[in-house]
């Protein structure tokens, strides 16, 4: 015998959560959570709304990172990481766009903080020109080309990385000096893999400015600037870049840079 009442009740039970989700306004909820965490002054957004997936769509994110670095992200979509949820590991998929460059990653909760998986981020290196000029002691130098970050890492509740297995590439790297001179450098690849006692790094690539080397980072607490750095880089340069290397190394366009010290104050010793 047909039971239209039961069918109607079933449809209502399915439709009710969807209706409640569509009517929920997350803006106040998120603002309260940011205020409770003390982040309402460093992380802001223009608009946030629910999506049918279910998920959230956040627009106009503005954040201020340590060191006074301002970050602007136009669009971010967040949705549950269903596979991890079935494994009792709450997580969220994050994808978005910043300055017309897409990015994505999966954020998972952990006992000591969070885990970032499947990181895929692209950044125009020109956005780092102010930092490059600081390193170049105020010279009119600007990088060009795409930076791409892939891999995964763990982050403690304090924001300090706990482990990493990442690669960073600088594709079609260029260095613009002044308004006219643009130097084609080539492609570069940097890797960072952590172990129990140290974090091992490698750096290779380039043509006009060719580098090849490796080393380690030594963790030293919550302040990344206090982490130790050791390693060596073989450097070969041509043209004007070679002339600059000659000045820095004391007379050689082919030299080895020995790195030591800490990230906040690294030391470089040149050997011909």
Express each pLDDT in 159-203 by its tens digit. 778 899 999 999 999 988 776 788 889 999 999 999 887 899 999
The stretch 31-59 carries a mean pLDDT of: 69
Q: Provide the pLDDT for residue 15.
A: 43
Residue 215, classed as helix, strand or coil, is strand
Which of the two residues, 96 and 82, has the higher pLDDT score? 96
State both tokens at 60. Answer: 């106009």
Average pLDDT, the chain: 78
The answer, yes or no, to whether residue 217 has pLDDT greater than 60, is yes
The answer, yes or no, to whether residue 93 has pLDDT greater than 60, is yes
pTM: 0.77
Which of the two residues, 199 and 78, has the higher pLDDT score? 199
Q: Provide the pLDDT for residue 261.
A: 95
Q: Provide the pLDDT for residue 204.
A: 97
The answer, yes or no, to whether residue 208 has pLDDT greater than 80, is yes
- Cα separation, 21 vs 14, in Å, equals 12
The answer, yes or no, to whether residue 123 has pLDDT greater than 80, is yes
Are the CB atoms for 123 and 102 separated by under 8 Å? Answer: no
Residue 25, classed as helix, strand or coil, is coil
- Cα separation, 25 vs 242, in Å, equals 59
Q: Provide the pLDDT for residue 8.
A: 43
Which of the two residues, 8 and 150, has the higher pLDDT score? 150
Give the range among 6-10, 35-39, 180-184, 221-225 with minimum mean pLDDT. Answer: 6-10
Which of the two residues, 130 and 135, has the higher pLDDT score? 130
From residue 66, alpha-carbon distances to 42, 70, 218 in Å are 10, 9, 21
Q: Provide the pLDDT for residue 128.
A: 77
Q: Provide the pLDDT for residue 17.
A: 46
CB burial string 198-235: b at 16+ within 10 A, e below: ebebebbbbebbbbebebbbebeeeebeebebbbbbeb
- Cα separation, 135 vs 128, in Å, equals 11
């Amino acid at each position: 015998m047909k039971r239209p009442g039961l069918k109607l009740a079933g449809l209502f039970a399915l439709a009710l959560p969807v209706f409640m989700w569509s009517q929920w306004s997350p803006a106040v909820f998120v603002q309260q959570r940011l205020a409770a965490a003390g982040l309402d002054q460093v992380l802001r957004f223009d608009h946030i709304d629910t999506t049918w997936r279910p998920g959230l769509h956040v627009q106009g994110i503005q954040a201020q990172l340590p060191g006074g670095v301002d970050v602007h992200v136009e669009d971010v979509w967040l949705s549950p990481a269903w596979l991890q949820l079935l494994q009792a590991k709450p997580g969220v998929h994050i994808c978005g766009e910043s300055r017309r460059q897409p990015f994505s990653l999966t954020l998972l909760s952990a006992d000591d903080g969070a885990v970032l998986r499947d990181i895929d981020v692209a950044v125009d290196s020109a956005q780092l020109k102010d930092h490059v000029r600081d390193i170049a002691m105020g010279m009119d130098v600007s990088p060009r080309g795409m930076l791409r970050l892939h891999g995964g890492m763990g982050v403690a509740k304090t924001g300090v990385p706990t482990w990493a297995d990442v690669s960073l590439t600088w594709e079609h790297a260029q260095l613009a000096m002044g308004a006219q001179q643009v130097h084609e450098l080539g492609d570069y690849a940097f890797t960072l893999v952590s172990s129990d006692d140290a974090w091992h790094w490698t750096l290779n690539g380039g043509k006009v400015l060719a580098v090849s080397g490796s080393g380690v980072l030594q963790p030293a607490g919550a302040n990344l600037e206090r982490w130790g750095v050791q390693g060596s880089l073989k450097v070969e340069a041509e043209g004007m870049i070679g002339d600059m290397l000659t000045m820095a190394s004391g007379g050689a366009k082919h030299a080895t840079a020995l790195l030591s010290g800490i990230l906040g104050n690294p030391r470089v010793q040149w050997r011909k």
